Amino acid sequence: MPQIVGVRTTGQVITDERLVRVVDSDIGMLEPDIAPLITMLMHLKKRQRTTSPRFEWYESDYVARWTQNSGDTVANNAASTTVSVTDGTLFVAGDLFLVPKAVGSSVAPEICRVTVVTGNVLTVVRDVGGAGVDIIAADAALRLLGSSFAEAAALATAKCKAPTKKTGYTQIDKTACRFSKTAIASEVYGAAQGDRQREHKIKMEEHKRKLNDTLLFGRASEVLTAGAEIRTSAGLMSVISTNKVDAGGLLTRKAFAAFAEQAFEYGQKDTKVLVAPGRLMTALNQWATKFLMVRPGEKKLGLPMITQVDTGHGTWLVVRDRNLQDGVSGKNGFAGVAFSVDLDEIVYRYLEANGVNRDTKLTENADQTGGDYVVDEILTEYGYQIKQEKYHAMLFNVTDYSE
């Protein structure tokens, strides 16, 4: 190593092949079809730094509108005024609730007014308004309404739903390639800049696919063993718990419509992204000839081909993810899974603080042990902040489709 006199500049670092190549958000534009969700997040600039490998946020929801009778059947007479419910904190004195009748009934349901709340037991006034006293079955669903107070009554008891803390973690993802210095110095066919540069492109694509797979299938975890701390990021499959729709094997148009109804039930937008396997794309193309309003693919959100599907509940921008595929030799895999995603509720978080940026970078000659080889490494320390799990949905168990 020659002695350097005077100002040290990046020229010496480049000569030594130790300059870190900053890839940053450009990874989102690299081979967009390989990892469509990552491409769209980067295109929408849905990325934020985190100054800690553990990041937190709070989510809130409205007070629930449904509960159930958790006790015995309540008789259909005005003297039966005690109703047990699964969660008494949903009620305060003055609240009204109704007992829905069967779907086939057009008769108005009974309305009850709560007078006292003791734990999960309600004391109620039956048959408010005179619709009639019904039997309240042991597992009957109860629908909360508004409230009703007497003139000059005292202030109502406040009730609210406290925000819930959520925690995410950054995951360290590495992809490496190793070359002997002899191989680097050799000319090869099919790679004008040498195999090293060609391999960098391939490894970057593989790395991007891993980031995309984490967003689909990751599960949050943190192990704090001293000297061996390790974390993993959450993904859609582990976060989505409310909106899971079983296609029952043979996906019908009716089942697909039920999935759309569930997927657009929550959220502030009537347009979401549907990440689909090839099997579902085939079904949509088939249904488009007769049943669905499907608009031809066009370039959107950084992707060369997005199909738009209009349903009675909302519009999906449909992208095929080729990582949703069967396992080896037709074994269990993910070719029967699709995700409805609200991109406004997902953020890519990368670790950056104290002048150190751990977003995606390719470091050339990362191994400085002095061997007759070089090791180049792509590294990303990142995590996904997937907010409001009800805004997203998952369709599963699609083995075939029917008109």
Q: Which H, E and C letters describe the chain, residue by residue?
A: CCCCCCCCCHHHHHHCCCCEEECHHHHHCCCHHHCHHHHHHHHCCCEEEECCCEEEEEECCCCCCEEEECCCCECCCCCCCEEEECCHHHCCCCEEEEECCCCCCCCCCEEEEEEEEECCEEEEECCCCCCCCCCECCCCEEEEEEECCCCCCCCCCCCCCCCEEEEEECEEEEEEEEEEHHHHCCCECCECCCHHHHHHHHHHHHHHHHHHHHHHHCCCEEECCCCCCEEECCCHHHHCCCCEEEEEEEECHHHHHHHHHHHCCCCCCCEEEEEECHHHHHHHHHHHCCCCEEEEEEEECCEEEEEEEECCCCEEEEEECCCCCCCHHHCCCCCCCEEEECHHHEEEEEEEECCEECCCEEECCCCCCCCCEEEEEEEEEEEEEECCHHHCEEEEEEEEECC
pLDDT at 300: 67
Let me know whether 40 and 70 are in one domain. no
Let me know whether 201 and 111 are in one domain. no
Let me know whether 213 and 248 are in one domain. yes
Please indicate, yes or no, if residue 233 is contained in any of the structural domains: yes
Please indicate, yes or no, if residue 243 is contained in any of the structural domains: yes
Let me know whether 41 and 91 are in one domain. no
**Structural domain total, the chain:** 2
Let me know whether 322 and 400 are in one domain. yes
In which domain, by residue range, is 103 found? 66-147
Last residue within a domain, chosen from 117, 147, 177: 147
Please give the structure tokens belonging to residue 17: 């092949």
Please indicate, yes or no, if residue 154 is contained in any of the structural domains: no
Residue 357 sits in a domain whose CATH number is 3.90.1690
Let me know whether 235 and 348 are in one domain. yes
Burial class of 24 by CB neighbour count within 10 A (0 to 12, 13 to 18, 19+): middle
Please indicate, yes or no, if residue 350 is contained in any of the structural domains: yes
Tens-of-pLDDT digits for all 403 residues of the chain? Answer: 556 665 656 555 545 545 555 444 456 555 666 788 888 898 888 999 999 999 999 998 888 889 999 999 999 999 999 999 999 999 999 999 999 998 888 899 999 999 999 999 999 999 999 999 999 999 999 999 999 999 988 888 888 878 899 999 999 999 999 999 998 888 888 777 788 888 898 899 999 999 999 999 999 999 999 989 999 999 999 999 999 999 999 999 999 999 999 999 998 889 999 999 999 999 988 887 666 666 666 666 667 678 888 888 999 999 999 889 988 887 899 999 999 999 999 999 999 999 999 999 999 988 878 789 999 999 999 999 999 999 999 999 999 998 7
The Cα 191–Cα 145 span in angstroms is: 70
pLDDT at 24: 46
Let me know whether 45 and 101 are in one domain. no
Let me know whether 233 and 346 are in one domain. yes
Please indicate, yes or no, if residue 204 is contained in any of the structural domains: yes
Please indicate, yes or no, if residue 347 is contained in any of the structural domains: yes
Question: Which amino acid, one-letter code, is at 63?
Answer: V
Please indicate, yes or no, if residue 157 is contained in any of the structural domains: no
User: Could you tell me the pTM of the whole model?
Assistant: 0.81
Let me know whether 190 and 84 are in one domain. no
Let me know whether 301 and 211 are in one domain. yes
Let me know whether 239 and 315 are in one domain. yes
Please indicate, yes or no, if residue 217 is contained in any of the structural domains: yes
Last residue within a domain, chosen from 147, 170, 187: 147
Last residue within a domain, chosen from 87, 116, 147: 147
Let me know whether 238 and 345 are in one domain. yes
